Amino acid sequence: MRIGIPKEIKNHEYRVGLTPAAVKELVHNGHEVLVEDHAGNGVGFFNEDYQASGATILETAEAVFSAAELIVKVKEPQAVERTRLKPHQTLFTYLHLAPDAPQTTDLINSGATCIAYETVTDAQGRLPLLAPMSEVAGRMSIQAGARCLEKSMAGRGILLGGVPGVEPAKVIIIGAGVVGQNAATVAIGMGAEVVVLDRSVDALRRLDAQFGNRVRTVYSTSQSIEQHVVSADLVIGGVLLPGAAAPKLITRKLVSKMKSGSVIVDVAIDQGGCAETSVATTHAEPTFIVDDVVHYCVANMPGAVARTSTLALNNATLPYVLQIANKGTRKALADNPFLLEGLNVGNGVITCEHVARAQNLPYKPAALMLTEI
């Protein structure tokens, strides 16, 4: 199979779909890999590294899209990239379609087979291709929040861990999943007061067993969210409904009650955000202010630590890329029901129910689509 790796073009996105080591593995399995010129420069993987691994370097993204059967990316295809997709092609990347109607429409019109990293599952019901970036984003959320609390960033002027004789910042984490667990790890390590809210008692038990009395766990209700958010210095939004738009748990009214200079880091922004006031931002302009509350809503947070993120992501995605390349898209999907969960769009139809419901569009189960791919 011919596999294409275009350079990412989203604002300040330096990650790359496949590393030279992954390319070497694919070439070893008899596949042809086409890499756009300088696609990996941002993470220290240069043309020579890819060529040494057996890849062919193409000068333009157009050339990569034109020649490839399987396109492996990191972030959702931007508008210009979506115009290059063809019905015979398979796209394998993060999509986050539920809150993104323009992208959904373009992918439907392309006729391409579009498999989303974030809805691929495993036998335990986990999200193995989302987890590495959730780990990174969870840890980064505390770094970003600590920075935003500084006065120069319009924050309260608070050191997250305080100092002897001065109390630390109060960090509220909404969601006890992968993002929440990793955010708690860093926040506790920095000496903050940490409260985690979730509706899963089992998830809260796991955090309690992991951290003991260094974290407070609270069952999430509208009342408990309001109680803790209004007293917070830093709020981390780490909620996730796989494939669906994030629930708006922090209302506009609640934001208006928060402390002046407090901070919201909305990690759920890829799925629309869990605060009503959240709007996606970029690494170039990461923050904005509503009612004196600093909002950090960067939609590709892990891109700031692009080398770590690329390596972690490739560790997770390579086995699936090999399955698709070795078997062909249709057989790979038929043989692996967990990969099939990742199919979001195929043959001009939405195959992810959460996306269809979020946008009030027709839906066809992925299993029924297999005969048409």
Tell me the per-residue pLDDT of 13-44, one tens digit each, with 9 for 90 and over: 999 999 999 999 999 999 999 999 999 999 99
- Residue 218 pLDDT greater than 80, yes or no: yes
Residue 326 three-state SS: helix
| Mean pLDDT confidence for 209-229 | 97
What integer pLDDT is reported at residue 368 of this predicted model? 87
Question: Is residue 255 within 8 Å of 291, Cβ to Cβ?
Answer: yes
- Residue 373 pLDDT greater than 80, yes or no: no
Q: Which of 349, 303, 260 is nearest to 73 (CA)?
A: 303
| DSSP state string for 238-285 | ----TTSPPP--B-HHHHHHSPTT-EEEEGGGGGT-SBTT---B-SSS
Residue 240's pLDDT band (cuts 50, 70, 90): confident
| Mean pLDDT confidence for 323-329 | 98
CA-CA distance, 39 to 50, in Å (whole number)?
10
Structure tokens belonging to residue 84: 């290059």
CA-CA distance, 256 to 244, in Å (whole number)?
27
Mean pLDDT (the chain) is: 96
- Summarize pLDDT for 162-203 with one digit per residue, the tens: 999 999 999 999 999 999 999 999 999 999 999 999 999 999
- Residue 338 pLDDT greater than 90, yes or no: yes
Catalytic residue among 100, 233, 270, 295: 270
Does the active-site annotation cover 28?
Answer: no
| Mean pLDDT confidence for 98-119 | 97
With b meaning 16 or more CB within 10 Å and e meaning fewer, what string describes 9-39?
Answer: ebbebbbbbbbbebbbbbbeeebbbbbbeeb
Residues contacting 189, CB < 8 A, separation 6+: none
- Residue 372 pLDDT greater than 90, yes or no: no
- Report residue 36: phi and psi, to 5°: -65, 145
Question: Is residue 352 within 8 Å of 367, Cβ to Cβ?
Answer: no
| Mean pLDDT confidence for 245-261 | 97
Place of tokens 């063809």: 86
| Mean pLDDT confidence for 263-278 | 96
Beta bridge partner(s), residue 57: 35
Query: Please, how many CA atoms are within 13 Å of residue 239, restricted to the half-sphere of its CB?
Result: 23
Catalytic residue among 31, 96, 228, 354: 96
| DSSP state string for 183-195 | HHHHHHHTT-EEE
Does the active-site annotation cover 270?
Answer: yes
CA-CA distance, 130 to 122, in Å (whole number)?
11
Cα 194–Cα 197–Cα 201 angle in degrees, nearest 5: 120
